[in-house]
Copies of this chain bind each other. A is one copy, B any other.
Amino acid sequence: MKKDRIKIVTIGGGSSYTPELIEGYIKRKDELPIREIWLVDIEEGKEKLEIVGNLAKRMVEKAGLDWEVHLTLDRREALKDADFVSTQFRVGLLDARIKDERIPLSHGILGQETNGAGGMFKAFRTIPVILDIVNDMKELCPDAWLVNFTNPSGMVTEAVLKYGNFEKVVGLCNVPINHMMSESKLLGKDPEELYFQFAGLNHLHWHKVYDKEGDDVTSLVMEKIFSSENSEMENIKFIPFFQEQIRDLEMLPCGYHRYYYLTNDMLQKELEEFEKNATRAETVKKVEAELFEIYKNPDLKEKPEQLSQRGGTHYSDAACELINSIYNDKRSTMVVSTRNNGALADLPYDCAVEVSSIITAGGPRPNNFGKFKPAQRGLVQVMKAMEEITIEAAVTGDYGKALQAFTINPLVPSGDIARTLLNEMLVAHKKHLPQFKEVIEKIENGELK
């Protein structure tokens, strides 16, 4: 039964993204009858939670809304009877991300906080926590929807489906919406004038574009991109793809494909940043510190312009639209991480995929995609296998599986270097990896080399 007024909970509510989220809700105030917004964080995030939470309160007040905004460190209190739970937390905060990026680079290996060694460790840290949250949800708000935008979003979603046995989960990412907006602009069209078909995994999807006449204009978009000066994604370093290879794909890659298609060049770029202490994580840390200074201003009553430079543009907006589309059965088409069920014929039936879907009151219903060409197929299959093994390692704390996942990941060179890196990262993230406790002790004792 549809409720008249709803309760929305955001875990990791102290995030710098929160003002965008609040703005997104306010923009949809006529469609989304919110009663309560709960921003939840942990002890270490208390200060940020208060800063951003107070900004949120001022924003709601300025909008003349009667919504209650609660700030709490008590997750269970917040979850009680929630209707939607969004997750945007970061276990270990940005310092953990800095390690995710800098340790691999110190070995001359890409960190890549979603699909590389860094992303795998983010999965190791995050999956046990999300499964805890799901356990609480099953008890306290079993009918609520979990809207995850904690990275690695695809793996987190799959973990919830497979190991949490919880179906009402949707994974979100802002990469597809950014592509849709930038490519529409390149063609001089509104996004609604085009039909986009996305298929793949989180941060590893391809898409086709069709116009109002039904014509496939994918190669036209390629042409515009290759003749343009601009990157489609500001937070991915701009290195141009190889035209001949992209044309052979017959689909547009996403920005993150640079890590796969231009691995060595991306590595060189990141090594330069590493040298300058300017990895993405470090940059973000600075930007965030500045943002929180701005948020503190008691006269600030709306999302500040500076947030858009943070890199997650459209992220929170996508989350609000998703909640809106579920609540109101709007059946809008969005690109989300959800259970495959055969929509992508080349991937396991029960895994999570990122695919264009109709968002109904019953959740996402994927458009069928079918089979990829070999070039996409091979890469997406090896990365899905890497994800499956990483998730299993995250759940079991098994060293062999963690090493297996490192070995199979094409962004990590295999061999002694991979093992050394794995061991060093396990020790470095020790505090947030309870499942690997025994393994880490062995490494520290020199029993495991």
Q: Does A306 contact B (CB under 8 A)?
A: no
Chain B nearest CB from A284 CB (Å) reads 25
For A262, list chain B residues within 8 Å (CB).
414-416
Q: Does A341 contact B (CB under 8 A)?
A: yes
> Chain A: how many interface residues by the 8 Å CB criterion?
74
Chain A positions 333-391 with a Cβ under 8 Å from a chain B Cβ: 333, 341-343, 345, 349, 358, 360-363, 365-371, 374-375, 377-379, 381-386, 388-389
Do the beta carbons of B400 and A244 come within 8 Å of each other? Answer: yes
Question: A392: nearest residue on chain B (CB-CB)?
Answer: B374
Q: Does A288 contact B (CB under 8 A)?
A: no
Partner of A382, one of B248, B362, B378: B378
Asked if A329 meets B413 with Cβ closer than 8 Å, knowing A345-B342, A360-B195, the reply is: no
Q: Does A81 contact B (CB under 8 A)?
A: no
Copy tally for this chain in the complex stands at: 4
For A374, list chain B residues within 8 Å (CB).
384-385, 388-389
A262, A343, A407 interface centre (most CB from chain B within 10 Å): A407
For A213, list chain B residues within 8 Å (CB).
1-2, 329, 361
Q: Which one of A10-18, A90-98, A263-271 contacts B?
A: A263-271
The docked-state distance in angstroms from the alpha carbon of A416 to that of B382 is 23
Question: A363: nearest residue on chain B (CB-CB)?
Answer: B214
Do the beta carbons of B244 and A403 come within 8 Å of each other? Answer: yes
The docked-state distance in angstroms from the alpha carbon of A294 to that of B362 is 48
Q: Does A62 contact B (CB under 8 A)?
A: no
Do the beta carbons of B365 and A414 come within 8 Å of each other? Answer: no
Q: Does A417 contact B (CB under 8 A)?
A: yes
A residues sitting closer than 8 Å to B (CB atoms) are 1-2, 195, 197, 210-216, 242, 244-245, 247-249, 260-266, 326, 329, 331, 333, 341-343, 345, 349, 358, 360-363, 365-371, 374-375, 377-379, 381-386, 388-389, 398-401, 403-404, 407-408, 410, 413-419
18 contacts between A and B (CB under 8 A): A210-B361, A211-B361, A214-B329, A214-B363, A242-B403, A262-B414, A264-B413, A264-B415, A265-B415, A343-B370, A365-B368, A375-B407, A375-B408, A378-B381, A381-B381, A381-B382, A382-B382, A382-B410
